[in-house]
Structure 1
Amino acid sequence: MLLLLLLLLGLQRPARATHIVGGEMELQYRSGSTYLLTLNLYFDAVNGNSGALDQQLLAGIFAKGTDQLMAQVTLPLTSNTFVNYTNPSCTAGSLSTRKLVYSREVTLAGNVYTSPAGYYVAVERCCRNNGITNIVNPGGAAQAFYLEFPAVVQNGQPFRDSTPRIFPPLGDYACLGELFYYDFGGQDTDGDSLAYDMVTPLNGHTNTATVSLGTALPGPFSPITWNAGLSTANQIPGAPTMTIDGRSGRLTVRPTRLGLFVFGVRCAEYRRGVKIGETRRDFQLMVLACPQNAAPSMVMMPPGTRQPYRPARDTLRLLPGQDHCIQLLFTDPDANSQLTLSTHPVNFTVAAGTPGPIFTTATTGRVRTPGAPDTLRATLCFPDCLDSQGRVFLLDVVVADNGCSLPKRDTVRIAFTARTAPNTAPQLTSTFPSPPLDAAAPPVLVQVPVGQPYTANLLGLDADNNALTMTAEGQNFDLATVDMRFTAQNGSGRATGTFAWQPTCDNNPVPTELTVTFRLQEAATCTPLPQQRVVRFLMVPTADTVAFLPPNVITPNGDGLNDVFTLPGLPPDLCDSRFAGVRIFSRWGNEVYHSPERSFSWPGSGVAGTYYYLVTFTNGRKFKGWLEVVR
């Protein structure tokens, strides 16, 4: 069988006709007018001759409406890696593929690429594997890699588009008579809609005499020729033949003939219902005679019952306070099978920070080997906080074996509803001033005189008896650095807190205004409803500065009454607002006295009359007034 297979693959054909497995192109927007043009080419690493591994390839960019050559681009080889298998243990020695990446940035100027019909890119290279069994003259058949993209300016505005990326490359083989499946689904960075269909691979202009082009040639590109009985709709003999899901890109075939088969897939992209581009992949699939592999099976036992779950008939109803775990029993008829469980949400997603259904026991194991059981068990639990909001959620639980070439599976689709326990918001009260009625209003204001202690108490209560935690956090500062202290007693259904502060200028010269957020948090609940109180603390002087009334008459006659001018009622020093000095002027503007001391005492000059004073503080604050000296 191995000898036949090697002959089938054509190990003794000319080296230049043994290397290309397939490939596809993509065009990704970078910035401005710059795009990255890439060709992913797949190379037969077993039968391909290293001399046929190109270090660069030529791409041509053409206008669709006129086939005008817009640009030629030389794409250098930038990456050379092996394609991985889904199941590495199934690796076939006759099948090994390299992924060669050729890429270069190109400029698509907005004043050049404006044709409403769009553009296409092509790279041509000969030749295909000589052992392909579903086309005429495979050793002389070439490949034309092809994609389409829209104008970069439409209706006078930039039109940015990155073509779909088809992934991943096919590294597996198919087994005769077994269902083969593979995900050829792509991604589109612009969020455009993607649609898939089968297409006939392109041959193009190259051949065994001219394996590559010195000058890019426009389309049309001739297709390969199918063998009798085969066509675009029937590319690989099978029951069913190869098809691709138009929405998901999932490729399936149950082959009925051994051999090496080429096939083509097209991925078209649509924006607002209008097709704007496409990319094609053509590839090869090897079909081998594989050992028989039976599919695993699984039985699911819902909580509180001894009856197995019946897919498509039963719906699990997960209620608060009840068991949310189900038991899984899974097995495989084949000896020495390694089984693996997995879950796949079908019509729901789990919110960030909320756990989804999880296995609480081992999800892998081997059956029917010496010392191993015939049936494995696992537990799948749904989180208490999963809420279906009245909808029926669908979850696929899949058991897969390690059979070749691809695992066989058994899938049980669980329909379930989930509801969380209701939760009442906790209540937060305090001895702070009452908050504004408008939730969008500023925080409450508390004025604290410098040097005087201030305390406040907070109380949190929860009707659901959930665990409560009370915290305090300064806005852009640490409480301890300004001598603020907050202590809390947390518990179930009740939490208390005490805030204390004695502001001093020594520990907090700037700022004199500080904002603190007090929070009450719930724990052990699915829908926590935190409460908070925001308080703006303002340091103020101890005395009332608004009532400052300086004297305006002195009588320096030595009787001990109003003999000197002083200002004992000046506003007290407050952190960055400190007494800087006093100056006294005559009515003609001449300075007659000055002092930097708050405790200054001026007995007046020798001349009676009107004088004027100016008191300044370090923050620029000023007090002006007049004074009559009577003798």
Structure 2
Amino acid sequence: MLWLLAAPARATHIVGGELDMQYQNGDNYRLTLTLYFDAINGSSGALDNDATAGIFERGTNRHIRNLTLPLTQNAFVPYTSVACTIGSLSTRKLTYSSFLNLPAGEFNSPNGYYVAVERCCRNGVISNIVAPGDAAQTYYLEFPAVVRNGQPLRNSTPRIFPPLSDYACVGELFYFDFGGQDADGDSLVYDMITPLNGHANTVDPRPTQPLSAPYSTVTWLGGLSQTNQMPGSPTLSVGRQSGRLTVRPTRQGLFVFGVRCSEYRRGVKIGETRRDFQLLVIACPRNQAPAMVVRPPGPGRTAYQPGRDTLHLLAGQNRCLSLSFTDPDPTSQLQLELRAVNFPQAMVPTPTIRQGTVRGPGVPDTITSTVCFPECFNSRGRVFLLDIIVADNGCSLPKRDTVRVAFTAQAPPNQPPTLALLSPPTRFPLSARVGDVVQLDLEGLDVDLDAVSLELTGRGFTPASVGAQLAVVSTAPGRTVARLTWRVDCRAVARGLHEFEVVAAANPCQERQTSTVLVIPVQVDYRNAAPVLTSSFPPAAADPAAPPVVVRLPLGGVYDATLAGRDADLDNLTLTAAGANFDLAAMGMSMRSTNGAGSAAGTFRWQATCDAVYRGPLDVTFTLVDATCAPVPQQRVVRFEVQPPVVPDFLPPNVFTPNADSLNDYFELTNLPPDFCASRFASVKIFSRWGNEVYRSTNRSFRWNGKGVSEGVYYYLVEYTDERKFRGTVTVLPR
């Protein structure tokens, strides 16, 4: 439930808290303030609806912007043990949060940035600083630029500090895990730090405009300092790498303290966050520690002596430890824990009893549990260390007794499996050709009757890549039969010798054992004779670099040729023809083939057309291909050209006598160049000496009789469709 109450001018309530910033996506982050509120000594009027965060550039302290963080959660912090709850300690966790946009064009300073939220006031009953009721807190966080060397730098601050809700007892060791996690995998380093006071005060407990650093710190009472923040022996400290708080308080009271978590990436500090918190120390009822006794396997054995004894757990013998634990205090609830010290925790077996109550009505004074190590548990000659811990339910924290057991453990002896061929060949390597099926049965045996599997690999290749497989035929305890099957195909030709490797494997006690590798060599024999291509085309030149043979036809002519292919290996043959960048049919060509095993035949026909003239020389490639793993195609290239017609000499007449004497009565051009595809007779025109057209015809067999014109010289123009022109004169003599 959110508390929406106006803050008074002054209210003592702050237990501590911290800032947190998590990357979301793009340029977006979420900024969160966690404020811990003293629900016993604090004023409820100090429950703010929101908080104002100021963002500044480090080094220059330049103010960039403010961000309002609305209250999103209000909840109590639970005790580690509910049974230890006391009326003088109750803490609320107030969460203020909002999205924050950090564009690269604005947040690119190599100095980095910091966020601060200021609020007054702390608890007036704090025991280790001067004037605690007048002291404020500055929540502080540093973060890097969002770009570095032109590349985005995404960073989330470490999420640290589980909330501390427990109290400590005078004279008793107190510990609490303040360690955290970093979403980016950055290294975290912890140290004690004096809490920040800042600019807020009793007159202005909640500044509307956040101010920049520097921020003043709280003032320690005499004899206390940053390294000695509360009376204790030892004093309060935090593990540099673990973040674990430890203190044995020597005086009652409420003590504020500060912890800093610095964030490093590749050895360079990129940010930090701080938390202030307070620890209540009270005088607690005396709690005596529980006691643990460990007895080795076997009847009548004396208690294990830590630091002196080493247990040896042998195969086939009793491997169970007897655990007896008790507590002098009445009605004590005990918890048993087994913690591996120098071997994986997952190997630790589960005890028969893990918890119970002693010294109460109807319950025993001592609990006995048993932990048995399975036969397969094996320390492999090493001495393993196991902490056997019993903890009570004392307040504020449980007391413990730990017995560290040193032991070795042996697994049962076990023989590796063996592997053999059933009906082995008389000699190796095996010989195979493409199309053959290689099939061999293999047997894996294990004298310990362990389950056996057979595994197939290849030297320098994978069996699956050539189509080989190993399939189980039958299984029984300690025996497996599998069949190697390989239908040899073209994938095997390039390598030739294939060496298959097979092993039998067993996994007793989860420890892999294998047989000696069995090598099965198979030599793939492959030979291929090139097919032979013959044809009725003119013989090709002996020099392969010579131009192809040329077949010439007049326009409209027809050329037929036959082709034949033979293959000594009786491979399937395919005979084809292909034009060099042209379609055969479009050039008047056709190819019909009959293909088959060991032979092929084809008939080629060409009818010379104008399309072939326009295209120019036509190169056709005739190919004979054998269908085999490594084919050797045979080719023949033939060039086809259309032979242009013979052009006679053009000797036009230059005079005629239109006098109807049947002698030279007409002007005609009988020896004009012949029509050839795109070059065809278009027209003839005759003009007078003054340029007047006197005759026109589109018939190449024209006859001009000179009718209607006077004697004299005339000019003629003959035009062809390809724009060729012939000019001349003709004289009309008197009739």
TM-score, reference length from structure 1 = 0.71
Partner of 2:340: 345
Partner of 1:243: 237
Contact kept in structure 1, 2:452 and 2:504, CA below 8 Å: yes
Contact kept in structure 2, 1:460 and 1:496, CA below 8 Å: yes
How far is 1:199 from its partner? 2.8
Contact kept in structure 2, 1:265 and 1:280, CA below 8 Å: yes
Partner of 1:468: 452
Contact kept in structure 2, 1:356 and 1:383, CA below 8 Å: no
Contact kept in structure 2, 1:581 and 1:598, CA below 8 Å: no
Tell whether 2:362 aligns with 1:371.
yes
SS in 1 for 2:406: strand
Partner of 2:643: none
Distance 1:331 1:282, change over 3 A: same
Contact kept in structure 1, 2:422 and 2:443, CA below 8 Å: no
Distance 1:247 1:487, change over 3 A: closer
How far is 1:297 from its partner? 1.3
Partner of 2:310: 315
Moved more, 253-262 or 205-214: 253-262
Partner of 2:472: 487
Distance 1:581 1:566, change over 3 A: closer
Distance 1:421 1:107, change over 3 A: farther
Equivalent of 2:482 in 497, 506, 531:
497
Tell whether 2:376 aligns with 1:415.
no
SS in 1 for 2:289: coil
Partner of 2:650: none
Tell whether 2:34 aligns with 1:40.
yes
Distance 1:248 1:448, change over 3 A: same
Partner of 2:505: 521
**2:528 corresponds to which letter in structure 1?**
V
Q: Determine the C-alpha separation between the residues in 1 that align with 2:245 and 2:86.
A: 21
Tell whether 2:450 aligns with 1:456.
no
Q: Determine the C-alpha separation between the residues in 1 that align with 2:170 and 2:314.
A: 48
Tell whether 2:159 aligns with 1:174.
no
Structure-to-structure mapping, 1:423-442, within 5 angstroms: 426-430=417-421
Q: Determine the C-alpha separation between the residues in 1 that align with 2:244 and 2:196.
A: 22
SS in 1 for 2:214: coil
Identity score, percent = 51
How far is 1:528 from its partner? 0.4
Which stretches in structure 1 are left out of the alignment for 5+ residues? 1-12, 435-443, 505-514, 555-564, 574-578, 606-611, 627-631
Contact kept in structure 2, 1:17 and 1:127, CA below 8 Å: yes
Tell whether 2:200 aligns with 1:215.
no
Structure-to-structure mapping, 1:316-335, within 5 angstroms: 316-318=311-313, 323-335=318-330
Partner of 1:399: 390
Structure-to-structure mapping, 1:225-304, within 5 angstroms: 225-227=219-221, 230-269=224-263, 277-304=271-298
Partner of 1:559: none
SS in 2 for 1:17: coil
- CA RMSD, aligned part only? 5.3
**1:498 corresponds to which letter in structure 2?**
R
Q: Determine the C-alpha separation between the residues in 1 that align with 2:601 and 2:595.
A: 13
Contact kept in structure 1, 2:10 and 2:203, CA below 8 Å: no
SS in 2 for 1:89: helix
**2:401 corresponds to which letter in structure 1?**
D
Distance 1:535 1:544, change over 3 A: closer
Distance 1:154 1:320, change over 3 A: farther
Q: Determine the C-alpha separation between the residues in 1 that align with 2:93 and 2:203.
A: 25
Contact kept in structure 1, 2:359 and 2:365, CA below 8 Å: yes
SS in 1 for 2:347: coil
How far is 1:182 from its partner? 1.0
Contact kept in structure 2, 1:35 and 1:108, CA below 8 Å: no
Deviations for 1:144-190, whole angstroms, at most 9, x for unmatched residues?
A: 11233456667888776554432211122233443322111233455
Q: What count of residue pairs does the alignment treat as equivalent?
A: 564
Contact kept in structure 1, 2:295 and 2:303, CA below 8 Å: yes
Contact kept in structure 1, 2:169 and 2:283, CA below 8 Å: yes
Q: Determine the C-alpha separation between the residues in 2 that align with 1:110 and 1:323.
A: 71
Tell whether 2:120 aligns with 1:126.
yes
How far is 1:23 from its partner? 0.7
Partner of 1:185: 179
SS in 2 for 1:165: coil
Deviations for 1:379-427, whole angstroms, at most 9, x for unmatched residues?
A: 2345666665665543322211222332222222233455667877645
**2:191 corresponds to which letter in structure 1?**
D
SS in 2 for 1:187: coil
Distance 1:614 1:151, change over 3 A: closer
How far is 1:497 from its partner? 1.9
Moved more, 203-212 or 148-157: 148-157
Partner of 1:438: none
Contact kept in structure 2, 1:17 and 1:140, CA below 8 Å: no
SS in 2 for 1:139: helix
Q: Determine the C-alpha separation between the residues in 2 that align with 1:233 and 1:269.
A: 21
**2:388 corresponds to which letter in structure 1?**
V
How far is 1:358 from its partner? 1.8
Contact kept in structure 2, 1:42 and 1:99, CA below 8 Å: yes
How far is 1:372 from its partner? 2.0
How far is 1:319 from its partner? 5.3
Which stretches in structure 2 are left out of the alignment for 5+ residues? 1-6, 459-463, 490-498, 537-563, 579-586, 605-620, 637-735
Q: Determine the C-alpha separation between the residues in 2 that align with 1:136 and 1:34.
A: 41
Q: Determine the C-alpha separation between the residues in 2 that align with 1:601 and 1:60.
A: 89
**1:495 corresponds to which letter in structure 2?**
T
How far is 1:87 from its partner? 1.5
Partner of 2:702: none
Contact kept in structure 1, 2:35 and 2:94, CA below 8 Å: yes
Contact kept in structure 2, 1:318 and 1:416, CA below 8 Å: yes
How far is 1:253 from its partner? 3.1
Deviations for 1:575-629, whole angstroms, at most 9, x for unmatched residues?
A: xxxx888899xxx997675447779998999xxxxxx986679999896589xxx
Q: Determine the C-alpha separation between the residues in 1 that align with 2:119 and 2:423.
A: 80
Distance 1:326 1:571, change over 3 A: farther
**1:223 corresponds to which letter in structure 2?**
T
How far is 1:298 from its partner? 0.6
SS in 1 for 2:133: helix
Q: Determine the C-alpha separation between the residues in 2 that align with 1:110 and 1:349.
A: 49
**2:139 corresponds to which letter in structure 1?**
F
Deviations for 1:333-365, whole angstroms, at most 9, x for unmatched residues?
A: 222222111233334445xxxx41122412111
Structure-to-structure mapping, 1:619-630, within 5 angstroms: none
SS in 2 for 1:358: coil
**2:307 corresponds to which letter in structure 1?**
A
Distance 1:267 1:536, change over 3 A: farther
Partner of 1:224: 218
Tell whether 2:14 aligns with 1:20.
yes
Contact kept in structure 2, 1:110 and 1:152, CA below 8 Å: no
**2:352 corresponds to which letter in structure 1?**
T
Distance 1:334 1:501, change over 3 A: same
How far is 1:115 from its partner? 4.0
Q: Determine the C-alpha separation between the residues in 2 that align with 1:544 and 1:242.
A: 83
Deviations for 1:211-231, whole angstroms, at most 9, x for unmatched residues?
A: 222222122222223445544
Distance 1:582 1:205, change over 3 A: closer
How far is 1:271 from its partner? 5.8
**2:387 corresponds to which letter in structure 1?**
D
Contact kept in structure 1, 2:350 and 2:371, CA below 8 Å: yes
Partner of 1:560: none
Q: Determine the C-alpha separation between the residues in 2 that align with 1:75 and 1:536.
A: 75
